[in-house]
Chain A
Amino acid sequence: MEDSSPTPPPSPKDFPMQFHGSASEYFKIWIVNLALTVLTLGIYYPWAMVRTRRYFYANTELDSHRFDYLADPKKMLKGYLLIYTAIILYVLGMNNIISPFIGFIVIMALIALGPFLMAASLRFRHHNTSYRNVRFKFLGRTSDAYAVYWGYALLTYITLGIMFPIFRLKIYEYIFDNSSLGKTPFSYKGEGGPMYTIFLSALGLMIAIAAIFMTPIIVFGIFQSGNVEEGAAATDPMFFLIMGSIYLVYFIGFAFISGFIRAKTLRYNLSVLTLGYEKDVSFKSDLNVWKFVWLNFTNIFATFFSLGLLSAWAKVRATKMVLSSISVVSQQGDLGSHESVNETDQSATGEAAVDAMDFDVGF
């Protein structure tokens, strides 16, 4: 593998990412694991989760080497049980079935521990992801997680959302800048300007969608409300029709905007990400934003109307489009040699927590 002969300066080379997963194969794996999870009342879930996630990692190829996911389900089970208990206590408390005070304490504990769990989750996830037999590593400090997830969240709240793009930027910075492949560090040089461009255009789109769809509904609603007797509004068929339309617009808008933001941030984040001490490995994605928006849109509808059955197909389809848009560019002409770090296994509670609480991490 090592080539030490004094050759002329190497020319940059592109390494495209490839995804080999197939929708039908993944569907079978997913549904069997889902059935096992349901029949064991959820106990099997960590095994199913590791297996389905590993399917995606092990089918991802870069420079003819595969990625891998190495997490131990047994370690995650404890974390999941803990988090599920917390969620159940919270929901029961909020519905007055047990003392609301217990629910309150649980949610306060989750909020207090949130950044800690986030950092723990990233450590666990990175530690269990490998490429060419080298594990990734996450070096972010827990105190920095508090600064980002509490500090910037608070700032966003105080400024009525104006700081939101900066909040997102700080999250990406925290995740990417603290990542490494073995001992080789990633570095992330994102800036506020482009982030604002992404979120402001998303906001513009949202307003446009709302204007196009909502105007007729509102006009219709005002027109109709003249005919409705006082007090009868809640049971009036018109009320249902209007609520239904608002719901549908929200659904369409959500499907549209979420795809737009994901595609735009992916493209931007990869363009400012590098790997290596010399930053000689860079990344790029030529993901077509509108194609991805359409794919995301159709995926959400297909999943919804198939009652979840098509979610396996949707996931493979999205992964294929995203991964095949990414390529890794090396100034040296190869992806370099990476040394791994010796370390003990990471706790899985954070991973389980973040997974259960449905956080949106990175891409």
Chain B
Amino acid sequence: MTTINGKYYLAGSSDACPALLSLSQDSGVEITAFEEVLEFREPSFRVEPALGSTPRIIRFHDGSMFETSEFEKFNALEKQLGTTSFTASLIKKLEERWRSAILSVFAVIVFCILFYLYGIPLAASKIAETVPQSMRAKMSEDTMALMQKITILRETNIDDERRAELEEIFFDAISRTNLPKDEGYEYKLTFKDAPAIGKNAFALPSGEIVVTDALVEVCSDDQLRAILLHEIGHVELQHGIRSVIQDTGILIIISLAIGDANGVSSIVSALPALLAESHYSQKFEIESDTFSCKHLQQQGYNPDDLADALQILHTGTPDMPFEDLVSTHPSLKQRLENIKENTLKVSP
């Protein structure tokens, strides 16, 4: 019969002595320590699951324990006892092998990518549907206040007549989209003189759409209609709210995931969050372009107006460094191709 050398620790004190462990007659274990033989049968003892190359431990119901580093003998004894649970031995096996370690690296990466591409956007659009108009209005107010702080939004210089014309185009476009009315968006067209952002337009979650004087001055009515439909697309598809939820989700996950890498977290989490946000917003731009294309054609206009408008807009935006990596808008080429694709799809 095999005996295993180890240490026996008494219960209730730090006293320990060299001891021998062996199987007892009736499939329990026997400890020879302090010149005595102690016998334990299940369930009065518990074998601590193996962990790396740390010593193996058996804990006894009276609080005493046996510890050994004779791994091979102990494994054999463990097998004979048959006390190891399936999951414990599976986890130990996974933790020992390089193959499973490498597989784990891939599993983590693949899971994160899938979750990022499908999980978060899906969850965000489900949550966005539950947001009431009152909260959308509140979010829009906050966004405007923030815009006011970082760029200067001055009163418009466009005369009343021209504004009335454009508002007519705007509400005409909305009414002809035949979108469900019960979403409760409060559509509103606002003009601002904002040299800092150049030729530009943006949509707020409430339904308010802001266009800059510079944009109105350089675009034709048809081009403006195309841009306005693009912005209406942002509202109807709830891109504003969805992006806030997605960013928040990414932030929560990153901070939970590397929360215990003390201190490094705040620095490390900023970069992936930034990249993630930019990817999502590029997707939204394409979605809105497609929305605009579809409705332009349904209303009897030419999607080329959108393509032209985008080209005009593009010449105005200052080129940022690392354009492809972090810029909010996808490359112009990509968007123009998307418009062409959608034009072919609808018109025969």
Contacts and interface: CB of A to CB of B under 8 A. Distances in A.
A358 B260 contact: yes
Contact of B195 (A29, A66, A231, A338): A231
B81 interface: no
> How big is the A interface, by class?
35 or more
Interface in B244-277: 244-245, 247-248, 251-252, 255-256, 258-265, 267-268
A355 B258 CA distance: 11
A39 interface: yes
Given A87-B252, A96-B135, A254-B263, A237 B108 contact: no
A131 B14 contact: yes
B104 interface: yes
Contact of A96 (B63, B138, B256): B138
Contacts of A27: 101
A334 to B, nearest CB: 11
B321 A240 contact: yes
B166 interface: no
Interface in A331-348: 336-340, 342
Contacts of B94: 32
B180 interface: no
Nearest to A315: B261
B244 A97 contact: yes
B301 interface: no
A65 B7 CA distance: 9
Contact of B261 (A231, A308, A340): A308
B320 A235 contact: yes
Contact of B12 (A34, A84, A340): A340
A232 B317 CA distance: 11
Contact of A95 (B63, B248, B321): B248
B208 interface: no
B196 interface: yes
Interface string B156-194: 000000000000000000000000000000000000000
Contact of A304 (B91, B96, B268): B268
Nearest to A92: B248
Among B7, B13, B53, B150, find the residue whose CB has the most chain A CB atoms closer than 10 A. Answer: B13
Given A258-B263, A358-B265, A58 B51 contact: yes
Among A29, A250, A300, A360, find the residue whose CB has the most chain B CB atoms closer than 10 A. Answer: A29
Contact of A35 (B63, B107, B321): B107
A42 B258 contact: no
A34 B104 contact: yes
A132 B245 CA distance: 50
A35 B267 contact: no
A109 interface: no
Nearest to A241: B321
A237 B52 contact: no
B297 interface: no
B264 A66 contact: no
B95 A28 contact: yes
A358 B268 CA distance: 15
A75 interface: no
A251 B127 CA distance: 36
Contacts of B152: 231
A31 B105 CA distance: 7
Contact of B97 (A28, A181, A342, A355): A28
A51 B17 CA distance: 27
Task: Return the 3 tightest CB-CB contacts between A and B, nearest first.
Answer: A133-B9, A35-B104, A58-B54
12 contacts: A27-B101, A39-B107, A96-B244, A97-B131, A133-B65, A231-B152, A235-B320, A240-B320, A308-B258, A338-B14, A355-B260, A357-B259
Given A1-B17, A36-B91, 19 more contacts: A1-B16, A22-B53, A25-B52, A27-B101, A28-B96, A28-B101, A38-B107, A38-B112, A91-B251, A95-B248, A96-B135, A97-B248, A133-B9, A133-B10, A182-B14, A231-B196, A240-B320, A337-B15, A357-B259
